[in-house]
Amino acid sequence: MEQDLFSAILFATVVAGTPLIIVALGELVTERAGVLNLGAEGMMAIGAIVAFAVAHHAGNPWIGAAAGMMAGMAMSWLFAFLSLTLMANQVASGLALAIFGVGLAAFVGKPYEAVSLPAVPPLALPGLSSLPLVGHGLFQQQPIVYLSWLLFAAITYFLYRSRAGLVLRAVGESPASAHAIGYPVIRIRYLATLFGGALAGLGGAFLSVFHTPLWVDGMIAGRGWIALALVVFATWRPWRVMIGAYLFGGVMVSQLFLQGSGIQVNVPQQFLSALPYLATVVVLVLISRNALSIRLNFPASLGQPFRPDT
């Protein structure tokens, strides 16, 4: 019985952490290029409703997921146009994008609130899914869970083992120097922003098409903001994004299991529901105390505008 409970908690933790990993990895790449896009919540919401609507009409969840990625890219292009081309303030543009995306998703999603999609069956990895204790929790998951692991490996290799990743990090550290030796800074930042938007849309699509699968207004429930906090928690390093996402996913799952277990605790249910967000604040406070670690990994030009003609 205890093994079954552990397996169930592990399974739920991995599922809860997956959209955080996907969105945070996309934001990490964007910020490594020196662009601060705070619109993850809005991009996730738009990606979720577009993916759900397309999957409903097309009858194919993967077409829906692709549509969600395209929707996230469209939203991130809007942000990039405002902040990189028109030189609008990145913080203000990102916040506006988050508010706009959540509101637009609620409006577009009204006709789909009573609709549900067929559940996408999990993909069991041969041999691994039968491992004792961790087999079911880790290796009998939705395909996008495995995709998040591949994204982690690919982004880690790209940032630290490829020439293109070195150029992207150089743009984030000193765009003037990168421009002086001939690199197209604005184009690189556009591509990084679009990539982050695509992953934010995919994170939203995972929630509405693969995880639930249904559309409910407010289903993103702050996950975009948690993903943004994860990038800071991880001090812009992919492996810490993975660890942090599963830690936050475990906090989300633990309060749900506690509420559903029937255990009598003298704690209001609203407090338990707020635990993931409280944990986010506490972790950020603790991380901010180590200023040296943040300075060593912080992209020097993050959020700063750049004009190629200056």
pLDDT in tens, 148-183: 999 999 999 999 999 999 999 999 999 999 999 999
Average pLDDT over residues 34-42: 96
- Rounded percentage of the chain residues whose pLDDT exceeds 90: 60
Is 16 in contact with 141 (CB distance < 8 Å)? Answer: no
What distance in Å separates the CA atoms of residue 220 and residue 205, rounded to the nearest whole number?
Answer: 10
Amino acid at 50: V
Q: Please give the structure tokens belonging to residue 169.
A: 């990090």
CA 241 to chain centroid, in Å, comes to 10
- Measured CA to CA, the distance from residue 39 to residue 228 in angstroms comes to 9
Lowest mean pLDDT across 132-146, 242-256, 261-275:
261-275
Does 280 or 86 have the greater pLDDT score? 86
Per-residue pLDDT at 127 exceeds 70: yes
**Segment 230-254 mean pLDDT:** 87
Q: Give tens-digit pLDDT for 69-126.
A: 999 999 999 999 999 999 999 999 999 999 999 999 999 999 998 899 998 988 988 8
User: In the structure encoding, which two tokens stand for residue 293, read together?
Assistant: 């670690």
- Are 238 and 156 a contacting pair, CB within 8 Å? yes
H/E element holding 141?
strand 140-141
Instruction: Tell me the C-alpha distance between 129 and 134, whole Å.
Output: 8
Kindly indicate the confidence band of residue 141, based on its pLDDT and cuts at 50, 70 and 90. very high
Which of 17-26, 96-105, 278-287 bottoms out in mean pLDDT, i.e. has the lowest? 278-287
Residue of 309, 310, 306, 308 whose CA lies nearest to 84: 306
What are φ and ψ of residue 141, in 5° steps? -115, 175
Whether the CA torsion 156, 158, 161, 167 is positive or negative: it is: negative
pLDDT value of position 85: 94
Confidence of residue 233 (pLDDT cuts 50, 70, 90): confident
Q: Which tens digit of pLDDT belongs to each residue from 174-207?
A: 999 999 999 999 999 999 999 999 999 999 999 9
Predicted confidence at residue 212, as pLDDT, reads 87
| Distance from C-alpha of 206 to C-alpha of 266, rounded to nearest angstrom | 34
- 22: closest CA among 284, 223, 157? 223
| pLDDT at 262 exceeding the cut of 60 | no
Q: What per-residue confidence (pLDDT) applies to 210? A: 94
pLDDT band with cut points at 50, 70 and 90 for residue 28? very high
- Domain 2-114+143-297 sits in CATH at 1.10.3470
* Whether the Cβ atoms of residue 219 and residue 106 lie closer than 8 Å to each other: no
pLDDT tens per residue, range 250-260: 887 777 666 65
Dihedral sign for Cα atoms in the order 125, 129, 131, 137: positive
| pLDDT above 70 (res 294) | no
The residues spanned by each domain of the chain are 2-114+143-297
Residue 228 has pLDDT above 90, yes or no: yes
b/e sequence 72-83, b meaning 16+ C-beta within 10 Å = bbbbbebbbebb
CA 112 from centroid of its chain's CA atoms:
24
Of the ranges 52-66, 215-229, 243-257, which one carries the lowest mean pLDDT score?
243-257
Answer for the pair 299, 172: CB distance below 8 angstroms, yes or no.
Answer: yes
Average model confidence (pLDDT) across the chain: 88
